[in-house]
Amino acid sequence: MSKAAKVVAALKVEELTERQARGEHKRLADEIGHHDKLYHEKDAPEISDADYDKLRQRLKAIEAKFPQLVDMFSPTQRVAPTPTTAFTKVTHRRPMLSLDNAFTDEELQGFLDRVRRGLERETDLTPDAEIAFSCEAKIDGLSISLRYENGEFVQGATRGDGTTGEDVTANLKTIKDIPQKLKGKGVPSSLDVRGEVYMERKAFLELNERQVAAGEKAYVNPRNTAAGSLRQLDPEITAERPLRFFAYAWGEAEPRSWKTHSEYLKMLKEWGFKTNPLTRLCRTGDAVRAFYRKIGEERPDLPYDIDGVVYKVDRIDWQERLGFVSRAPRWAIAHKFPAEQARTRLNGINIQVGRTGALTPVAELEPVNVGGVVVARATLHNADEIERLDVRVGDMVTIQRAGDVIPQVLGFVPEERPKSARKYHFPTHCPCPLKTEVKAGEGGVVRRCSGGLECPFQQVERLRYFVSRNCFDIEGLGGTHIENFFEDGLLKTPADIFRLRDKEREIRKREGWGDLSVRNLLAAIDARRTISLDRFINALGIPLIGEATAKILAQEYGDADVWLTEMLKAARERKKAPDDVKKEKAAAEVGESYGRLCNVEQIGVTTADAMCAFFGEGHTVDIIKDLLKQLTVEAVKRRVVAADAPLKDKIVVFTGELSTMTRDAAKARAEELGAKVTDSVSKKTSLVVVGENAGSKARKAAELGVQTLTEEEWAKLSA
């Protein structure tokens, strides 16, 4: 974010000019869209629910003051990102809308007042008449719609974007709480039952214990684990997960016999569904608030996670009179809980070293219960964050589970700071046995061990990365196994993984390793002795090189030997050129190989320099050459573009959600037509294909004057 944007973001909404509000509106829409995609599609949120809600609140406040900024692409006008293409799409017969939120008692009262005014206007309700609300705990899970025809379960789908979801019927059939055939009276011939798939805390902890015991990575939280479990392509994996289901709403229901929401909940139980036992009917505002406080007090002791309370007008005819506004009903609201916080003692600060050598400080805490989870460690991010918070060993600190997920230190309690509290001094040398010097990176925020691959901490983390899913994807060789094998000398470098067959007897003697598990591990390793060049490059953990860039490099150089030779030449050329000359001269003048590397799409000088530094270390090259002796790295068939290809030498970027084709299919078609497909928009970009919910890339294209095409226009061009 630029300095100007930061200034605007710090202003109160009432202080904004229309021009400032327009820029802030775009920034917030982009940021919310980014977090929506992480939450709904990848089940991997990176900010807390509370922080996300603040973004939406500010956006709504801006739109309230500047209604001319509201358009169909605003996050306030939609539910969630369009679903991914891993599952068949399902169009909901009635939209699955989300709820507006209340965070304060004043906002709750505002909702109650709006409901009363609306009913007085639309019905014969008198000012002193009673309005009953069905009040329910808001389960923190994944929203699902279940389709029943003549009482038989025929289809289940995720919420998706509210209009279109993903067909996860096979996975839902593995959940015991979901009846396959409804029993009892009054079952509609066509019925959509809606509710929440979730995982209880105890089951989540037990699942994590099994993960760790198997040497796999622990899951983050019950909500994401439940969502990820339900979206497995293999239903047998879903069946192994302890998923539960609460029913609480309906979509289409023909014929419908119930007249109140509370009556419907009773019928759900008669039909065989589980409903939340905490649901209550409240007839006054005071009763509603009392219920919220009661549930908040009981929250830590509940067997599942909740993040608020939902209030719904009980009478269905009144719901229909009140109707909807944009993405949410006027007759319901979610009253969110504040983020869970607690105080505890900071006993120490330890340093973790990542695969790139980055040093991350971790707070060691006196164990404390935060929202039903015992927290003993929390991240302090970096040296600057410690300085900003001024936390010291011995302090009483306030911690929060961000989004009820990631523990973070908010600050210290001044009045409880002991005289013995010690100011923390960030280490100048890595805590690894080598004690190599720590150096600040560009900007000084991240500090790294300078030991490179000789640092044992980095070696372990790089080995973990090497076997991960997007790299060599070696099943059965999880993080814990890597660490244990490393500590006991069974492996030190990636090549040692492929020499583990020579140590089969030694592995069999280890606790937890039987004949079958050893055979499976060795078979999984052998299956990866042939690997594509892009996966090989990605697995090396080269700074600034990820999966997408690895594919581009593989396409550029084609062959592992050619690629390695060119990287070594580029590193030598880069090393010979004095720094002042390198700044003044073009990349090609530094050297032919260095210039070629800098001109690869999405590389540039910064990334090229990082790669040259990586290949400038002798021991790194020895490790790679040793690894190549164990493998067959498949050469990439270079694309031969016909001279008359319609998009020859054009650079194409796809942004937003495509509805008629997958992103991969669109990229493949563009390449068939001779184009180079990249992920970022620059002056070199020839055209940008803009799908739904497009964000900053579309705006950048407009700013740079780059041609843009709709999905329909792209389809005609590429036909």
Residue 510 DSSP symbol: S
Residue carrying structure tokens 């009556």: 263
Instruction: Report the DSSP beta bridge partners of residue 153.
Output: 148
Question: What single-letter DSSP state applies at residue 14?
Answer: G
Would residue 535 be called left, alpha or beta, if left means φ above 0 and alpha means ψ between -120 and 50 degrees?
Answer: alpha
Tell me the C-alpha distance between 423 and 401, whole Å.
24
d(CA 345, CA 372): 18
User: 3-state DSSP call for residue 664?
Assistant: helix
Tokens of 35: 């977090």
| Spatial CA neighbour of 280 closest among 299, 298, 295 | 295
Tokens of 368: 């404390």
Cα–Cα distance, 438 to 416 (Å, whole number)? 33
What residues are labeled active site?
138
Q: Which segments within 162-288 are labelled E, that is strand?
A: 164-166, 190-198, 244-254, 280-282
Beta strand segments in 380-525, E: 392-393, 396-402, 406-412, 422-423, 438-440, 447-449
If you compute the radius of gyration of the chain from its CA atoms, what whole number of angstroms results?
29
- For residue 586, give the 3-state DSSP assignment: coil
For the sheet with 190-198, list strands across it: 152-158, 142-149, 190-198, 244-254
Establish how many alpha carbons lie within 13 A of residue 544's alpha carbon, considering only the half-sphere containing its beta carbon.
14
Q: Rounded to whole angstroms, how far apart are CA atoms 24 and 11?
A: 10
Asked if omega into 456 is within 30° of 0 (cis), the reply is: no
Which backbone phi and psi does 652 adopt, to 5 degrees? -115, 140
Question: Distances in Å between the alpha carbon of 285 and those of 11, 110, 418, 650?
Answer: 34, 11, 45, 63
Q: Is the peptide bond before 255 cis (omega within 30 degrees of 0)?
A: yes
Hey, what are 710's tokens?
Answer: 């709709």
User: How many angstroms separate the CA atoms of 460 and 585, rounded?
Assistant: 39
Q: What share of the chain is helix, strand, coil (3-state, %, to 5)?
A: 40, 20, 35
> What is the rounded CA–CA span in Å between residue 612 and residue 591?
12
- Cα separation values, 398 from 48, 344, 416, 618, Å: 16, 7, 11, 46
d(C-alpha 440, C-alpha 448), whole Å: 6
User: How far apart are alpha carbons 42 and 609 in whole angstroms?
Assistant: 32
Q: Is 147 helix (H, G, I), strand (E, B) or coil?
A: strand
